[in-house]
Structure 1
Amino acid sequence: MTCPFCAIVAGEHPANSVLRDHAAVAFLDTRPLFPGHVLVVPPRHIETLDDLPPDEVGPFFTQVQRVARAVERGLDADGTFVAANNRISQSVPHFHVHVVPRHRKDGLRGFFWPRTHYTAPEHAESVAARLRRAIDSAV
């Protein structure tokens, strides 16, 4: 079985990409908590945070931080929820960090959240484009 995130990194599976460099690849979650929910993954297959080599942790999380800023700025979010499952509830066994836009009183509570869908492929692409612009304009 091929890792779906490795397939996205390799360009073998389509994704709404928002960032790609040597340290991280970021793309929209196809089952977002809210539009703009981004997954940030290491470009090579790493199963858990524990498996991420120490010299890659800083560069990887610098990009997570960059995406979180872009989500707030690009989507006019009040903040972000940044989280990673490690083994338990890790739906894809490729380490990934969720960056979710948050707004006051958005209804997100606890750890049992309903997932939504983008209204159309164009909706997902427009959200991804906003995030790419925010990433490109970051200092």
Structure 2
Amino acid sequence: MEMKNKHCVFCKIVNKEAPSNIIYEDELICCFLDIDPINEGHVLIVPKEHYHDVDELDDETLLRITKLSTKLTKVIKKAFNPDGYTIMQNGGIFTDFGHYHMHIFPRYIDDEFGWTCKELDNKNSLDSVKEKIKVILDREL
């Protein structure tokens, strides 16, 4: 984690060095409209400090992001009357921009947003995956 990355567009936004449409900010987080929205009302929540992944966030920042996501969901429902909403984040090499961020956007039945899912071979595969995760989770907790 770094305070600021001079090449990061999100660091530039939170430091007012790049144009944006900020709708909320406090000392830990900044929320602004996505410039390439899935649907109207698509917002991003970013920590003001430069973190790459969710598992790097300190507890206070994580809690602040989570609480704001709940409030923004209510606002999006009132403002856009969607059929639903999506809250998502990517990690690792899929953290486009290299700065942790959470997406929140309204969803509509015909918006065509989605992804494809691979079918698992059988129940044994699920049991194997469950055990693999549980062993590590039990050690981490």
Shorter-chain TM-score tier: 0.7 to 0.9
Gaps of 5+ in 2: 1-5, 117-141
Gaps of 5+ in 1: 112-139
Question: 1:26-63 CA deviation, whole Å, 9 max, x = no partner?
Answer: 11111111121111101111111011012322122101
Is structure 2 residue 64 aligned with structure 1 residue 74?
no
Describe how 1:99-114 pairs up with structure 2 within 5 A. Answer: 99-110=104-115
Partner of 2:64: 59
Aligned partners of 1:76, 1:18: CA distance in 2, in Å? 19
Residue in structure 1 matching 2:37, options 17, 25, 32: 32
What is the identity percentage for the equivalent residue pairs of Structure 1 and Structure 2?
Answer: 29
- Give aligned pairs, total: 111
RMSD over equivalenced CA pairs, Å: 1.5
Task: Give yes or no for contact 1:23–1:63 (8 Å, CA) kept in 2.
Answer: no
Task: Give yes or no for contact 1:79–1:102 (8 Å, CA) kept in 2.
Answer: yes
Q: Answer 1 or 2: higher relative contact order, Cα 8 Å, separation at least 6.
A: 1
Comparing 54-63 and 83-92, the one that deviates more: 54-63
Structure number, greater radius of gyration: 2
Is structure 2 residue 71 aligned with structure 1 residue 46?
no
Query: Could you state the TM-score of these two structures normalised by the residue count of structure 1?
Result: 0.73
Runs of 4 or more, structure 1, over 3 Å off, are none
Alpha-carbon spacing, 1:23–1:64, altered in 2? closer, same or farther (3 Å)? farther
